[in-house]
Amino acid sequence: MILTADSIVARNTTRRKTANGWHTTFIGKNRNTLKEGEAAPPADGLYPMAFLVEKEAAAVVHPHFHQADQYQVVVQGSGRLGIHDIASVAVHYTDAYSAYGPIVAADEGVSWFTLRNAWDPGARYMPEHRRQLREARAKYQHREATCGPLPPLTEQELVALTAPTSGAVIAETADGLGTWRYTVPANGSVTGPDPSTGGGQFWLVSSGSASVAGGALLPVQSCIFVAPEDAAAILLAGLGGADLICMQFPRRARDH
């Protein structure tokens, strides 16, 4: 099950103003798109979710946690996430039931992708949900992993590429959590990590353009999801090359 979401199509069809900023759905449903009375997907199954959040200057998201594992990828603007400075492209991972924050937007605002491999009904804010967080400690560890900012390669830097490069930016752990950056010259290709080692992968086109083998060319800020049972993804760069981030979730016992 390889899913793709074209950033231009997503922005033109699903970008919506909410009480907390702008929200654009890329893959799956979420609490902003679930219709009244519609049953939520099962929380114990594989369910990829990807959406873009855009916050205005000085916006604050208070400390909270989620019931699902989560990546957040800053793609525009800057600010702070807890003790970490964030700017494009910063990657922040949290295990389920790991509290983090606050997120504070700087003067130019901040935008980030939220990426999950399981359904989540929304943030649970602290300190109101502290008891629930403590109870979850019997099953879930607190874990955060970060990298960046990794400024996207410019058009000139992409043109100068002569061979693909790859490298871990969050080292892979025993349970499969890991993040890698790939740079690919024009018309070149790369093969990603074996998805069976983790709980699913999201790819983000950081700059340039790329396609999954046999698929349409995807522009900047497009997303790809690769399920654990899929073969390793082969990404093909467009005429201008590609700068790609691959984010893999840890393995969890869940029904598929």
Question: Residue 255 gets which letter from DSSP?
Answer: B
Asked if residue 55 is part of any domain, the answer here is yes
96 with 161, same domain: the answer is: no
Asked if residue 46 is part of any domain, the answer here is yes
248 and 204 in contact (C-beta within 8 Å)? no
Looking at residue 34, its pLDDT comes to 87
Q: Among residues 194, 173, 51, 21, which one has the least CA distance to residue 120?
A: 51
Asked if residue 178 is part of any domain, the answer here is yes
Asked if residue 89 is part of any domain, the answer here is yes
210 and 186 in contact (C-beta within 8 Å)? no
168 with 199, same domain: the answer is: yes
Domain residues for the domain of 108 are 9-147
Question: 131, 147, 163: which is the final residue of a domain?
Answer: 147
Any idea what the CATH number is for the domain that residue 104 is in? 2.60.120.10
209 with 135, same domain: the answer is: no
Asked if residue 256 is part of any domain, the answer here is no
Asked if residue 4 is part of any domain, the answer here is no
128 with 200, same domain: the answer is: no
Looking at residue 256, its pLDDT comes to 43
22 and 54 in contact (C-beta within 8 Å)? yes
Distance CA(30)–CA(27), nearest Å, equals 9
Asked if residue 82 is part of any domain, the answer here is yes
Asked if residue 2 is part of any domain, the answer here is no
Question: 127, 147, 167: which is the final residue of a domain?
Answer: 147
- Residue where the block lists tokens 């699903």: 14
Question: 102, 125, 147: which is the final residue of a domain?
Answer: 147
pLDDT averaged per 10 residues in sequence order, the chain, 256 residues: 96 93 95 88 93 96 96 97 94 97 96 97 93 91 93 97 97 97 97 97 98 95 98 97 98 66
40 with 164, same domain: the answer is: no
Q: Among residues 7, 116, 127, 3, which one has the least CA distance to residue 70?
A: 116
Looking at residue 144, its pLDDT comes to 95
78 with 164, same domain: the answer is: no
SS3 state of residue 147: strand
The total of structural domains in the chain comes to 2
131 with 184, same domain: the answer is: no
With a CB cutoff of 8 Å and minimum separation 6, the contacts of 77 are: 55, 87, 88, 105, 106, 108, 109, 110, 111
| Main-chain phi, psi angles of 159, to 5 degrees | -60, -30
